[in-house]
A and B are shown apart, each in its own frame.
Chain A
Amino acid sequence: MFGQVRYWALKELFIPLLRTYEAKRRGSRPRKGSLPLSSNRVLKGLIMSHYYLGRYAKGVLPVAWVTSGAPVELLRPFGFYTIYPENHSALCAAQKMGGGLCLVAEERGYSKDLCSYAKIDLGVFFSGRTPVGRLPKPDLLFASNNICGTVLYWYRVLSKEYSIPLIVFDTPFNYGPLRQEDLDYMLDQIEEIIEKLQRISKREFRMERLIKTMRLSKATCELWQEILNTMKQIPAPATIFDIFSHMLPIVSLRGLRSAHSYYQVLYWELLQRVRDKVSPLSEERIRLLWDNIAIWYKMRDLSELMMRHKANLVGATYTNAWAETIVHMDPTRPFESLAKAYSLVILNNNLYHRLELIRKLATEFKVNGVIMHSARSCKPYSLGQYDIKRILQERYNLPCLILEGDIADERYYSDEGNKTRIEAFLESLI
């Protein structure tokens, strides 16, 4: 009872105050020469309140840990408080805690070659260290292998360690167009998942709640798409590093009102910049596309390096992933559209699809070249990049650079080597 009162008091009274305070507070040190978005402060309040409230959710709401590609809309009608370990790992990495937490997992026997998001999460599990104070222990794990098989192996470990159930939404990989057999399989699974969620949450499933969530989710993803579209303007109103920083709501708060409200604020700010022809760069001489997950611990350095060379990363296959399949989201056919929207994402699709997507984005965003982050951690995103690069250069005359690194573990990033490579690449584009 006390827990419930505390949770609701925090949610209704304290959190709005916290957000207002954060929105008015001066932001952190801006990147050299950059033009910080004023929405950053609103975002900070949103992130803080999400993790702060999470600390008190345990025992009041069922808590689920969810993978970034799982159809979270299915959990919302049951009132789950959702935490995204991948997102939390990115947050740790951005605070330069990634390598240290990976080391904790490695000391427990986990191979240094494993995904650093997973290792950071395991490091947090073993050490309790996190920049957000404390993560609520999960009652349920919900994963989908539409982004990788890794999440499945990782969540099996969590399931054993926490002795809690793991629900997997199995999305057959699309070597070609989506097959009817695969769609039927996913539809059957959704029904089974709902049954299981009813048992775990002890709440009855109500279709109208799912439809309402899906409408909100769709509207948020469409807004996200509009935000990305503003970057097609010359000059772009922001950099991809700004956009990366604003991904948390689309990943972690999808299907919630707060995400939609936040993106309205961000969208209007970007739109205003477009109208006023405001750019974070004094001159946008080079426009680039980014492929793969961000290098979270190097955002500031890379951003400053780009700015020095008057280059702007204006688009990314990664940010596009939360907008690409939204056309399939039709709340009047909830199960089918969930299956399609989640199984046709970039990482569950073949490499021909990836090649064509990069070509399409390169044309739409009018870029001069592509930077491909070959991420040690992420095999499904990285394996195939060498040949995509070869084809883009040979067949379509689109210059590409492969940047070796890692998404969250700073120990696998060579500062000097990559700086030289990027500079040489940028010079070749002028």
Chain B
Amino acid sequence: MIPQRIPYLLRKKEEGWKVFGILPGYYPKEILLGAEILPVEIWDPRVDTAFAYRHLQHTVCGIVKRAISFLMALPKGLIDGILVPHTCDSLQNLGTLIKDLLPVTSLPCIFFYPPKGPYRKSSFEYLKRVLKVLQRDLEAFGTQAEGSEITRWLNEMAKVYQAYRKLFELLTRDLFPSKNRALLDLIKGFGYLLPNDILEAFGEISKEMSPNKDLGPKVFISGIYPYEVELIEMLDLLKARIVAEDSLFLTRRFPNRTETSEDPYEELAYRYFSTPPCPTRGLDLGERADYLIQRARSADVKGVLFGTVKFCEPESFDLPTLISVLNREGLNTLHLEMEPTKGMDMAYLTRLEAFLETL
């Protein structure tokens, strides 16, 4: 059973954890955990986004609209600070907006800029330096992470990555008994649970492991954040099974490192540079296409579902090339553009149904 987000973070606060709201993107979770800060990622809070339109143009993506609405409606004391990773232009400006022009600045706001590709030697050195800057910024906020503490959390996070990888392996082998909705809870847990609580949830699930009897078409889902509940429920309705994923929310942040280091900052840098290709980091588009093909083959899927957020530039620039390359490789594709603040109508279901039939 995955704990609900708000009761969970309130409980953790009672246990002495400080809580930081994290805007979407890559950030070194281990440094925050080492400083006894629970990072709670703000991707899809259920809030009324009417407020956002007072501050943002309608052409700004739903993730950003939700984030600002959530931060402005935040009950006092729920979070202790905000971390803004540099992910895209809209999130970049949202960060400076909340720090410089809006009253939410009463909360400490910390920024983190990971280097953009194509990577060079300087990118590696810079990342190590800004990881230390982040730690220094957190110290100014009143928390301190020792090197050994960060190493401990690096080990814990390695187990978490492994657990999720195992999960997708089981999904590929039809051994995950639940529907996509239950899988979604597990996936979302990555955004706010402590590593040991994630592992505990995985432990409980493994006890119930049995062959999945409800075998529909297998789907590989890709996008910055393709996890709108409506989409997942539609997949359940059509008996399709997510067996592989490529999202910035989850596996694009999972390292595939070949080198390791005793130095926690160096280790974090190795991990960052070994994560799968993502447009927000400016990595090569050809490499990304190759990666998706290889993932699709290893998961034995025939189709890739691109679930993008309307007005998301990083992802939208890649799609025409990716779709063309994947199609040439015999992989079917469907692109569903979602507007998180508006919900999904039946037209999506029809398109999804047609796509699944091709699989």
Inter-subunit contact B60/A383 (CB<8 Å): yes
Q: Name the interface residues of B74-109: CB closer than 8 Å to any CB of A.
A: 84, 86, 88-90, 92-97, 99-102
Q: Name the interface residues of A292-324: CB closer than 8 Å to any CB of B.
A: none
* A262 on the B face (CB < 8 A): no
Inter-subunit contact B311/A113 (CB<8 Å): yes
Q: Name the interface residues of B41-69: CB closer than 8 Å to any CB of A.
A: 54-57, 59-60
Inter-subunit contact A160/B321 (CB<8 Å): yes
Within the complex, what minimum Cβ distance (angstroms) separates A376 from chain B?
A: 5
Q: A113-B310, A157-B321 are in contact. Are A170 and B115 (CB under 8 A)?
A: yes
Within the complex, what minimum Cβ distance (angstroms) separates B228 from chain A?
A: 18
Inter-subunit contact B310/A175 (CB<8 Å): no
* A379 on the B face (CB < 8 A): yes
Inter-subunit contact B286/A160 (CB<8 Å): yes
Q: Mark A115-156, 1 if CB is under 8 A from B, else 0.
A: 100100000000000000000000000000100111011101
Q: A149-B88, A351-B101, A383-B60 are in contact. Are A154 and B111 (CB under 8 A)?
A: no
* A423 on the B face (CB < 8 A): no
Inter-subunit contact A109/B323 (CB<8 Å): yes
* A388 on the B face (CB < 8 A): yes
- Cβ–Cβ < 8 Å partners of B116 in chain A: 145, 149, 152, 168, 170
Inter-subunit contact B86/A153 (CB<8 Å): no
Q: Name the interface residues of A198-225: CB closer than 8 Å to any CB of B.
A: none
Among B122-130, B193-201, B206-214, the stretch in contact with A: B122-130
Inter-subunit contact B115/A157 (CB<8 Å): no
Among B168-176, B277-285, B341-349, the stretch in contact with A: B277-285
Inter-subunit contact A153/B101 (CB<8 Å): no
Inter-subunit contact A379/B96 (CB<8 Å): no
Q: How far is the CA of A149 from the CA of B317 in the complex (A)?
A: 11
Inter-subunit contact B57/A383 (CB<8 Å): yes
Inter-subunit contact B97/A153 (CB<8 Å): no
Q: A173-B113, A351-B96 are in contact. Are A382 and B102 (CB under 8 A)?
A: no
Inter-subunit contact B313/A149 (CB<8 Å): yes
Q: How far is the CA of A113 from the CA of B313 in the complex (A)?
A: 8
Inter-subunit contact B115/A149 (CB<8 Å): no
- Cβ–Cβ < 8 Å partners of A387 in chain B: 55, 97, 101-102
Instruction: Name the contact of A109 in the complex, choosing from B95, B285, B320 (C-beta under 8 A).
Output: B320
Within the complex, what minimum Cβ distance (angstroms) separates A142 from chain B?
A: 12
Within the complex, what minimum Cβ distance (angstroms) separates B322 from chain A?
A: 10
* A415 on the B face (CB < 8 A): no
* B328 on the A face (CB < 8 A): no
Residue from A110, A188, A351, A376 with most neighbouring chain B CB atoms (10 Å): A351
Task: Select from chain A the residue with minimum beta-carbon distance to B102.
Answer: A387
* A427 on the B face (CB < 8 A): no
Q: A111-B337, A379-B313, A383-B60 are in contact. Are A175 and B120 (CB under 8 A)?
A: no
Inter-subunit contact A150/B313 (CB<8 Å): yes
Q: Mark A148-190, 1 if CB is under 8 A from B, else 0.
A: 1110111011011100001110101101000101101100110
Inter-subunit contact B285/A157 (CB<8 Å): yes
Residue from B89, B90, B280, B318 with most neighbouring chain A CB atoms (10 Å): B89
Inter-subunit contact A192/B97 (CB<8 Å): no
Inter-subunit contact B126/A192 (CB<8 Å): no
Inter-subunit contact B96/A156 (CB<8 Å): no
* A399 on the B face (CB < 8 A): no
- Cβ–Cβ < 8 Å partners of B121 in chain A: 188, 192
Q: How far is the CA of A167 from the CA of B94 in the complex (A)?
A: 27
Inter-subunit contact A181/B133 (CB<8 Å): yes
Q: A382-B57, A383-B90, A387-B102 are in contact. Are A157 and B118 (CB under 8 A)?
A: no
- Cβ–Cβ < 8 Å partners of B123 in chain A: 170
Within the complex, what minimum Cβ distance (angstroms) separates B139 from chain A?
A: 16
Q: Name the interface residues of A363-398: CB closer than 8 Å to any CB of B.
A: 374, 376, 379-380, 382-388, 391
Q: How far is the CA of A403 from the CA of B323 in the complex (A)?
A: 36
* B117 on the A face (CB < 8 A): yes
- Cβ–Cβ < 8 Å partners of A184 in chain B: 126, 129
Inter-subunit contact B101/A380 (CB<8 Å): no
List 9 A–B pairs whose Cβ atoms lie within 8 Å, in order of A's numbering: A145-B116, A156-B318, A168-B116, A173-B111, A182-B113, A351-B96, A352-B100, A384-B96, A386-B54
Q: Which residues of B contact A (CB under 8 A)?
A: 54-57, 59-60, 84, 86, 88-90, 92-97, 99-102, 111, 113, 115-118, 120-123, 125-126, 129-130, 133, 279-280, 282-286, 310-311, 313-314, 316-321, 323-324, 337
12 new A-B contacts at CB < 8 Å, known A173-B111, A351-B101, A384-B101: A109-B319, A109-B324, A150-B89, A152-B116, A153-B318, A156-B283, A175-B84, A185-B125, A192-B121, A192-B122, A351-B93, A384-B96
